[in-house]
Amino acid sequence: MSTGYLSRYFKSHLNVTVKEYLIAVRLKKERQDVLFSNYTILEIAYLHGLPNLKSFINAFKKVYHDTPAKYREKVRK
């Protein structure tokens, strides 16, 4: 299977790109760690393969409209 075919298949069947799908899956798992673990935000970013803290915070904020730390604080109250 070529990468081009896989990309077209994803887009036509799931209405998202492969990259968007992977980001969504990753963020779902990261959100679980933010809420239910005692890992630091930096540890969570590294555990899920993100290159740095800033990229994690930006991706998280784009979907959940808050930084991971603020989101954790709000939900845990």
For residue 10, give the amino acid letter: F
CA gap 5, 45 in Å, rounded: 30
Instruction: Give the pLDDT mean for 48-62.
Output: 90
Count the helices and strands in the chain (H runs, E runs).
5, 0
CA gap 69, 72 in Å, rounded: 5
| pLDDT digits 0-9 by tens, 33-48 | 999 999 999 999 999 9
Which residue has tokens 């899920």? Answer: 48
| pLDDT digits 0-9 by tens, 7-31 | 999 899 999 999 889 888 999 999 9
State both tokens at 18: 């492969």
* Residue whose C-alpha is closest to residue 60's, from 13, 11, 33, 3: 33
